[in-house]
Amino acid sequence: MFFLYFVISFVPLVIFSATMNVVLENYFEGRNEQNLLYQANKLAGTIKTSNYLTDPSLSAKFLNDLDEKSVELTARIIALNADSQVIADTNRAETGKILIIPEVLDALQGTAAANLHENVGKIYASAAIDGNNGETSGAILLVYGFNEVYDLLASLSHDWFILTIIISIVIAIIVYITSSHIIRPLSRLVDSIRKIADGDLRERVNVKNKNEIGVLGNAINIMAEKLESDDSSRSEFVSNVSHELKTPLSSIKVLSESILLQDTAPEEMYKEFLQDINSEIDRMTNIINDLLSLVKLDNREAGINLKDTNLRKVLISIMKTLYPLAKVKDIELTLEADKDVIIEADETKLFLAISNLIDNAIKYTPPEGVVKVTLENDHQNAYISVADTGIGISKEEQPKIFNRFYRTDKTRDRETGGTGLGLAITHSTVLLHNGSIKVISKEGSGATFIVRLPVKQNKEDNK
Ligand code: ADP
C-alpha cells in the first residue's frame, strides 16, 4: 500500500517535470526562431535600401551597422553575396569564405529559414537580400547561441529534481504515517479473526477507529458474540435435555425401587406407584416428542408441507380440542374470527404452534380467567392474537421465553407439566412460515401473544 501510494504520487511528478522541460524548450525555440527570422528580414530590407551591397565605399559603415545590430540582438551576423561568399561577419572569422549551409542556400533561393541546430546549440536564421531588379543579390544569416536557453533548462530541471525529491520525501512520510494508521488496525483485526477461527470465541477486536475499519471491527465483535452465545446455548441445550430427562428417570427409579424393596405391599400402593411411573413416562415422552418436533423444524430441508390453509378453520379446530381444558379451569375461551384468511402453511406444524400459545394461556391463567383468541388481517398479513388474564411475564423474562427449556421463575417449580419447549416450537414454526411473533405483557396482569403470518398473495391482485 505504501509502495502504491508512493508510485501514484511520485510518477506524475516525474512526468510533469520531464514534459515541462520539453514544453519550455519548444517554446523558447519557437519564439527565438520567429524573432530571429523577423530581425533577419528587417536587416535584409535595411541593407537593400542602404545600398550596402552595391556601393563598395559604404563597406566600413556597413560592418559598423552590423556590429551594432549584433550587440543589440546578441547574435552573430553574417552577410553573404549571391555566390554564398561571406562579405561581412561580425565575428570577422569567416570573411571571404564560401559558406554553404541549408539556411543560406534557402535564402539565396528566395525563402527565409530559421532552424535550431541542436548539435552546436545554435539557431540559424536567414533572409534573402533583394537586388534592385527583383533578383536575389545576397543573404543575411543570424547565428544565435541557444546554449543560454539550454543552461536555463538544465538549471530548471535541476530545481525540478530537487523539488521532486523533497515532495517525494514529504509524501513518503505522510503516506507512511497514514498507511500504518490503516494497516496496524487491520493486522490487529486479522489476528483476532485467526484467534476466533481457532476456537477462542471470547476474543474481541479492540479497534477504536471511527472509519470503515472500526465498523468492520464492530461487525466482527458482533459475530464473535453470536458464535459464543450459539456455542454456549448449544452446550446449555444438551445439559438442559439431560437434566429434563434425568428428573423423571430418577422419580421412576425411586418409585420402582420402593416397590421392589417391599416384600408385601398392598395392591393400591402398587397401582398408585405405577400410575406415578406412568405419568413420568408420559412426561418423558412429551419432552422427546417436543424435541423431535424442534429438530424437524431446525432441519428446514426435512420438508415443509405447504398448502393453502384457512386460518379461521385451523383456529376453530384448535378451540375444539382445547375447550375441555379451559372448561376444567372454568376459563372463558373465546374466538373472534369473522373472515376466512388463507395463507400458505404446513397445517400440522401451524396447528401445534398455535395450540401451544392457547394451551399456555389456559395453563398460566388462574381459574375463572379469560382467554381471547382473535384473527385479523390486512392485505399482506394475518394476525393471530392470544390474550389471557393470567400471571403475565416480566419485561426481563420476555426475551427469554422463546428459548428452549426456558421457564419463568414463577412457573419453574409449578406442576404445570410444561417442558419449556412449547414456545421454542411456536417460534421456529412461525419463522419457518416467514412470520414473526411478539409478546406484550405486564407481570401479574395477563399476556398477549401476537403472531404475524404473510397471507397468500392472490395472483390476480398482482396484475
Ligand atoms: P412450558 O412448557 O413451560 O409452557 P413454553 O415454552 O410454552 O414452555 O413457555 C415457556 C415459559 O414461558 C413458560 O414456562 C412460562 O413461564 C412462560 N409463559 C408462556 N406463556 C405464558 C403466558 N400466557 N402467561 C404467562 N407466562 C407464560
Nearest atom in ligand 1 to 446's CA: 24
The strand order across the sheet containing 332-336 reads 332-336, 370-377, 381-388, 447-454, 436-441
Mean pLDDT (whole number) for 315-342: 94
What distance, in Å, lies between the first and last C-alpha atoms of the chain? Answer: 54
Residues in CB range of 273: below 8 A, 6 or more apart: 255, 256, 258, 259
Are 214 and 207 in contact by the 8 Å Cβ rule? The answer is: yes
C-alpha cell recorded at residue 127: 533572409
Helix axes 347-363, 267-298, angle to 10 degrees: 130
Highest mean pLDDT range out of 183-197, 291-305, 346-360?
346-360
Q: How many CB atoms lie within 10 A of CB 406?
A: 16
DSSP 211-278: SHHHHHHHHHHHHHHHHHHHHHHHHHHHHHHHHHHHHHHHHHHHHHHHHHH-SS--HHHHHHHHHHHH
Whole-angstrom Cα distance, residue 248 to residue 276? Answer: 10
Most confident of 86-90, 97-101, 450-454: 450-454
The DSSP symbol for 392 reads -
Any idea which of 7-11, 289-293, 450-454 has the lowest mean pLDDT?
7-11
Q: For residue 417, name the pLDDT band (cuts at 50, 70, 90).
A: low
Pocket of ligand 1, candidates 360, 391, 442, 450: which has the most ligand atoms within 8 Å of its Cβ, to mutate?
Answer: 360
pLDDT grade for 323, boundaries at 50, 70 and 90 = very high
Task: Taking the CA atoms of 25, 31, 34 and 37 in sequence, report the sign of the dihedral they define.
Answer: negative
The answer, yes or no, to whether any atom of ligand 1 lies below 6 A from the CB of 421, is: yes
> What is the DSSP annotation of 126-184?
EEEEE-TTSSEEEEEEEEEE-HHHHHHHHHHHHHHHHHHHHHHHHHHHHHHHHHHHHHH
Residue-averaged pLDDT of the chain: 87
Using alpha carbons, select from 410, 329, 334, 333 the residue that is nearest to residue 367: 329
Digit-coded pLDDT (tens) for 196-240 = 999 888 888 887 777 888 888 889 999 999 888 888 878 877 887
CA atoms of 423 and 361, how far apart (whole Å): 12
Query: How confident is the model over 6-16, as a mean pLDDT?
Result: 78
d(CA 139, CA 113): 11
Q: Is 248 in the pocket of ligand 1 (CB under 6 A)?
A: no
Residues 401-406 have a mean pLDDT of 87
- Mean pLDDT value across residues 119-128: 90
pLDDT above 70: residue 412: no
428 alpha carbon – ligand 1 mean position (Å): 15
Residue 341: phi and psi, rounded to 5, are -125, 120
- Phi and psi of 88, rounded to 5°? -155, 140
The pLDDT of residue 367 is above 90 = yes
At 462 the pLDDT is: 46
Please tell me the distance between residue 423's alpha carbon and the centre of ligand 1 in angstroms.
7
Q: In the predicted model, what is the mean pLDDT of residues 105-114? A: 87
Average pLDDT over residues 106-135: 87
Residues 6 or more apart from 279 whose CB is under 8 A from it? Answer: none
For ligand 1, whether the C-beta of 146 sits within 6 Å is: no
Ligand 1 atom at minimum distance from 419 CA: 2
- CA 55, distance to chain mean position in Å, is 88
Is the pTM here over 0.85, yes or no? no
* Atom 2 in ligand 1: residue holding the nearest Cα: 418
Ligand 1 centroid vs 365 CA: distance in angstroms? 11
Ligand 1 site-directed mutation target among 283, 293, 388, 393, most atoms within 8 Å of CB: 393
Give residue 234's pLDDT. 80
Q: Give 457 or 1, the one with higher predicted confidence.
A: 457
CA neighbor of 86 nearest in space, from 142, 45, 139, 124: 139
Mean pLDDT of 172-195: 84
Atom in ligand 1 nearest the alpha carbon of residue 386: 23
Residue 137: CB within 6 Å of ligand 1?
Answer: no
- pLDDT digits 0-9 by tens, 35-64: 999 999 999 888 888 888 777 788 888 889
| pLDDT value, residue 413 | 58
Tell which wins on pLDDT, 164 or 309: 309
Rounded-to-5 percentages of helix, strand, coil across the chain: 55, 15, 25
Of 313, 443, 322, the residue nearest 371 (C-alpha): 322
Per-residue pLDDT, 336 = 96
Average pLDDT over residues 277-286: 90
- Indicate if the pLDDT at residue 167 is higher than 60: yes
Per-residue pLDDT, averaged over 138-167, amounts to: 86
